[in-house]
Amino acid sequence: MRSAQCGRRAALLIALFAALATAGEPVVAPLAITGYSFVPGKAVACTYDVKQEVEWSSAGDRLAYTSTLLWTFILRARDTAADAVAVPGGAVVVDCTYVRVRATHQGPGSNRLVDSRPGVGDDRAQGDSDALLGHLLVFPGITLGLTVDPATGVVSAVSGGDELIARINRRFPAAGDPGAVPPLDAAARVRYSGPALAAWWSQVLALPSPTPQVVPLTAPLSGALERRWTGNRYTLGLPAGAKAIPAQLAVDAAAVVQAELIDASGAGGLRLDAGMPAEADGTLAFTLRLVAATQGVEQKHRLTWKMRRVTAE
């Protein structure tokens, strides 16, 4: 039973750790940003740090959990002409190679850490057998190919997701029956399919727009927020005129909970350096009201994130 519970929570965290990944809090004064200038062969190393705080309140009980996730990755544009790679007009292919991942999940009954960097005196990654966070250790060594429109930051396609899914399934196979579907397969396919990864990276690389942009809430939530830009700064919130967003919290086919998202507010911005990502950080807060097994639950979410270039070639 405990293994099944960890599997369900791990499936939820696969989504929560990657959800709502947008560029963030204002870091510079408004500037004109005309687009990315990815140079074939030029690489930048970046960190992406996410913190999510969740407070649960139901029937007089209160719980609070804090999750963090740190990715380190290298972005390098391909020479698509030399590689004879067909891409849409004006688009470039940017390879994202993950180098390190570190994650924590802390709260009542949970004090977890995984880190792809080996522990002191140990050749293994820290927490490599953790049933809740261990799936994140498949990232180091993975390369995703992002097809990016430099004018908008929209990512139309991503390759490499299949290998992520295969690694997760090899790390957490079905117990007992080698022919059965692995327990995290469905959640991994929702999160790491090509279209899902393209939608995620489109938010990470989004550039200023004169009109409001739709920011979809990713699984396990449905619905969308709006991003409104002023220069290289933006605000996040509910669609104009809306007081709430109907949403669904779906961990699997047998557990779909109706929810309502209210009080959403956030702000963000980004900075480019010579047309390459340099820095972005931000915050978002929202409240979810839902009914689980006829019992009302309120969740208050607070997210902070920062992407920062750490080296450049």
* Helices assigned H by DSSP within 20-141: none
> Of the candidates 147, 294, 283, 269, which has an alpha carbon nearest to the alpha carbon of residue 208?
269
Looking at residue 309, its pLDDT comes to 94
The β-bridge partners of 24 are: 269
Mean pLDDT by 10 residues, the chain (313 residues): 49 43 38 78 94 89 94 90 61 94 92 84 75 90 95 94 95 86 91 93 92 84 88 92 79 67 93 90 90 78 94 56
Residue 245 and residue 265: Cα distance in Å, rounded?
Answer: 13
Looking at residue 198, its pLDDT comes to 95
Looking at residue 19, its pLDDT comes to 42
Residue 21 and residue 41: Cα distance in Å, rounded?
Answer: 26
As assigned by CATH, the class of the 2-312 domain is mainly beta
**Domain ranges across the chain:** 2-312
What global pTM score does this model have? 0.83
Q: How many CA atoms lie within 13 Å of 153's alpha carbon, on the beta-carbon side?
A: 22
Residue 60 and residue 37: Cα distance in Å, rounded?
Answer: 53
Looking at residue 28, its pLDDT comes to 38
> Of the candidates 199, 185, 72, which has an alpha carbon nearest to the alpha carbon of residue 146?
199
Do 193 and 201 touch, CB atoms closer than 8 A? no
Percent over 70 (pLDDT), the chain? 79
